[in-house]
Structure formats: C-alpha cells, structure tokens
Amino acid sequence: MYNPGESAPGACMVGRCVRNKAGWIIEACETLVARAGKPLLGTHVQDLVVLSAAEYHECQDAVYRYGTMARAGALIRHASGEMVAVERIEGEVVDGNVHLAFYFSDRDSPKTAVYGTFGVETTIKPPQNAPMPVPQDVVRKSSSSTSHSAQLEKWYAELQARGVVSAKYKMQRVRNVLKDIEGEPTTEAIYQWFLDARSRERPIGPAHIDNIRRDLSLYFDWLGEGPDIKRIPKIGSSREIGEGVGAFMPEEMAAIIRAADLDEAREKPRRGWKRAALYLLCWETATRVGQARRAKTTDFDLSRRVYFRRAETAKTGKPSICPISADLCRRLEPLLGDAAPYVFAQVRDPSKPTTAKRDNLLADMSDAGVPWVGRDGLTRSWNSIRKGAASVMAENGVSPHVAKAVFGHANFATTAKHYTRIRPEAPREVVDAILDLSEKILDSEPDSTEDPVSSGNGDSSMDLPTISTRRHGSPPSSAATELAGPRNAKDGPSGGVSRVQQSSNQDFECATAALLRAVAALLEARR
C-alpha cells in the first residue's frame, strides 16, 4: 500500500525520446506515479500525458502517426535498469493501489522492433484474486485492432523477410484503419472510413487513400479472409484528380508567361527564363510537365522547329513528333547550349532534371494576377496547362482523335473523360456568333470570308509556322514532308516516311497552330 502522489514501490521510469545530432537517445525523465481518482489508461511516450478513457485511442493514434516516435518507441526502465520497448500502458487507481499492464514488444531489439510479438506483464501486481480492470469502452473500440494484432505482426514479419522497404508503414496504415473501426472490419465500415477521411478538417490526400486501399487489400489477401477491398467504391482516389483540376485560359497562360519574362528581367530572378520556356513547351505541345522537364537537348531540332517526345519519357511508351513555335525556339536556344544532358536541369546538380514545384507556378500566377481558383470553381496546377490546351483545341474544331494523339493517351476514353472541358464563356460566345450570323443573313449583308483569328494576329511577336490545312486524300506539301522527316538512320536512306505518319504529323501541326494563334493574338492585344 502507498499513498497517491508518492512513488509506488518498484515504479517504472518512462523514457522520453530526444532528438540530437548523434541520433535517438533515451533518458529517464520522471517517475510514473499514481493519480487518485483518475484512470491511468495510457501514457503519451513523448509528453507523458496521463489520458482518460476517451483520450486513450487519440494517444495511440499520435504514437503511430509520427514516424520518429514510432521508430524510437516508448521505453520503460525497470528497477533493474533494463530498457524494454512498450507498445502501450493500461491500468487504473483503485483504493490507492495502482494496477498497471505494460504491453511489451520484442525485448531483444527494443529500438528497432517496436511492433514485435506482444505480451502482457504487470510490474505492479494488483491484490490477489483481483482481475486486471479494463474499461468496457476501450474493449469495444479496440476489439477490431486487438483481434488483428497478432496477424498484423505475422504479416509484418513476412514483409520484412521478403525485403519490403515500406513494410513498417504498410502495417501502420492497416493498423490505424482497424483501430478506428468498431467491431470486425466490413466493406461498409471501411467504405465509411474512406468517406470520413475525405471529409475531415484536414482530409487525407488522394494518393494516401490509394496507398491505404492497396495495403488493406494486400493484408486481407494474405489473411485469406475479410472484406474484399476491390469491391469498395473509390472515394477520393487519384483517378479523380483530373476531374478536380481547372484549366488555364489562353489569356491567363499568356499573362503567366509574361510574368515569368518580367521576373527574368529582375536583378535577382527566380530563373524565370527556364520557367517561361517550360510553360510554353507544355502549352504548345500539350506535354505532361513530368515529361517536359525530363526533355534532353537531343530531343529538339531547332532548325526544323520540332520536339521529339521520347518513348521512355512518355506515359504510354510511344514516341511522337510535335512542332514548336519560333518564340519557343528562341527561348530554348540558350538552354540547349549547356553541357547538361537535360534542357531544364537543376542548378546545383545539372545531371538531374529540375523539379516542377507548384510553388513556382503559384508565384508566377500571383505576379500575373491569375487566381488560384478559376472561374469554374476548380483549383489550378501544372496539369491545368494541358487542360487549357485541350480547351483551345476543342474550341478551334480539332478532332478528338487528333487530340488523343497530341496528348499521348492510350485510349480515346481518357481524352473524352478528362480533356473535353471548355471554358465557361464559350457557350455564350457560340450563341452570340449564331445571333450575329442570323442578323447578317436577315440584313442580306455579305459575310466576310476572312479568318478572324488569323487576321487578328497582325505583326505578332510569335513567328508562327506555315500550317497546311489539306485533307487526308491530298498529297503532303514539301514543307510538311521536311517537318515530319526522321532523325534515325533506320527510317531509310532517302529520309522519307510513310503517308500515314505524314498525315499524323500534319494533324499535330494543325492542333499546335490553334494554340499558337490564340497565344499570339493575346500577346499582341496586351501590348
């Protein structure tokens, strides 16, 4: 017997994890003492906070959430001086007596095997014939994780034996989901967990949701029983990212490129020249930013103004040829003269491609006065450049099948689903054009045959390539044949290509022309 507030006989020392230059060290911080009238259901391994029954699981979530704490583990120093890792502590104060249950991990390697084979040990024994009191709410909420605890440890051991680097994080993600589910996990319970995870104040990201879904599927497949994760509807998966990203309009893209040019003229620029060239390359060729930033100096032929998208950088694994404007060639010329293999190379390590960070895009958007949320209510990202290019192509009558080839999609369904959105003003402009045409017909005025887009370019600063608008049945022009010419010797000694490839390259050229005319007109209008 002992009084509350005094050190219990044989009380344990709780170790605190301290970060220093030498790594993790463990130091005894204070003696664990009893608190009269308050259950001791858990101890936060870092802050030594005594928790109530309702806060117990929040404590465990904090332990699993922080990787640094999980690696070091909660360490208990026995009276003998031995340090052992502890997964959790349970107990309560009854009539001045402390009833504690310590759930240990593997004692042989306490610093690494934090989640080893669990056992139960009581350092302060309760009175004889008195069972260890455990609150019912803790039993009810942790029944799912408790029943799967031993299985998770076996699964974790097998993953480690197979050399899976992320074995610990896979096990932690599965454990966290099972801890939040009351009772046995079912498809309905896991589906509701996904919904709650996406509706939190700080929701879990789509990529993390996909990782959790994959880890749950791996665990239950290994277990041989449980819910079928593949039957659970996808909630907030990465497949929906494309639908939740807005598109840049041509006038917004022109403003962003101009802002990058102005940044280059500053005394200490943010390397705006490279960013402006990267923006223009993604806009003109509708190339993914990940593919564009890995473009090499050998991928460009400025004499013929073409960009060869290599198969190894393409998402679909197919190469393609894209025409580029003279303005982009002018921007790329000083970049191609560097010794680095990549056009957009890192400054510190030229052997690696640059990282297209969202902060750089947001900085240029802020300088250009382009809002982060578009008029369609969707946020902007690097993928918004591709979506903006798709909108311009659709409004200029580019065939969806040609757009599929330009964007490098594996099938037409992807093009139809993600890249057929038009800007909000387009329907109203179509109605206005129809009304204007009707008024001209009623007034019997001759309709002008001049192309308003091409005639409005004027003396644009962008040297647009000559675009052939032939039909597929007519022979290609000599300029188009030169543009589509191969670079490799295996294409033939004469340097010729098939008529199908010439037609495909002409379609690329027509699609690019629509983007170039739109940007050229806007740049000219802003002067």
Reported as a single tens digit per residue, the pLDDT across 7-49 is: 333 333 333 322 222 222 222 222 233 333 333 334 333 333 3
Same domain as 76, residue 181: no
Q: What is the DSSP letter of 446?
A: P
Quote the CA–CA distance of 227 and 188 in Å, as a whole number.
Answer: 9
Reported as a single tens digit per residue, the pLDDT across 156-200 is: 888 888 888 788 888 888 988 888 887 788 888 888 888 888 777
Quote the CA–CA distance of 171 and 189 in Å, as a whole number.
Answer: 19
Q: What is the pTM of this model?
A: 0.41
Q: Is residue 492 part of a domain?
A: no
Show which of 135, 160, 191 is a domain's final residue: 135
Mean pLDDT, the chain, integer: 61
Q: pLDDT above 90 covers what percent of the chain? A: 0
Residue 85 pairs with which residues in a beta bridge?
Answer: 75
Same domain as 207, residue 68: no
Higher-confidence position of 150 and 428: 150
Q: What is the DSSP letter of 118?
A: -
- H-helix or E-strand containing 121? strand 119-121
Reported as a single tens digit per residue, the pLDDT across 384-421 is: 888 888 778 777 777 777 777 777 777 767 776 665 55
Q: Report the side by side order of strands in the sheet with 13-20.
A: 23-31, 13-20, 74-77, 83-94, 97-104, 119-121
Same domain as 254, residue 228: no
Higher-confidence position of 507 and 55: 507
Looking at residues 295-315, what average pLDDT do you find? Answer: 83
Show which of 182, 210, 239 is a domain's final residue: 239
Q: Domain tally for the chain?
A: 3
Q: Is residue 506 part of a domain?
A: no
CA atoms within 13 A on the CB side of 26: 19
Same domain as 380, residue 284: yes
The answer to whether the beta carbons of residues 198 and 235 sit under 8 Å apart is yes
Domain carrying residue 84: 13-135
Residue 278: which of 352, 337, 350, 331 has the closest Cα?
Answer: 331
Show which of 212, 239, 266 is a domain's final residue: 239
Q: Is residue 340 part of a domain?
A: yes
Same domain as 205, residue 234: yes
Same domain as 98, residue 26: yes
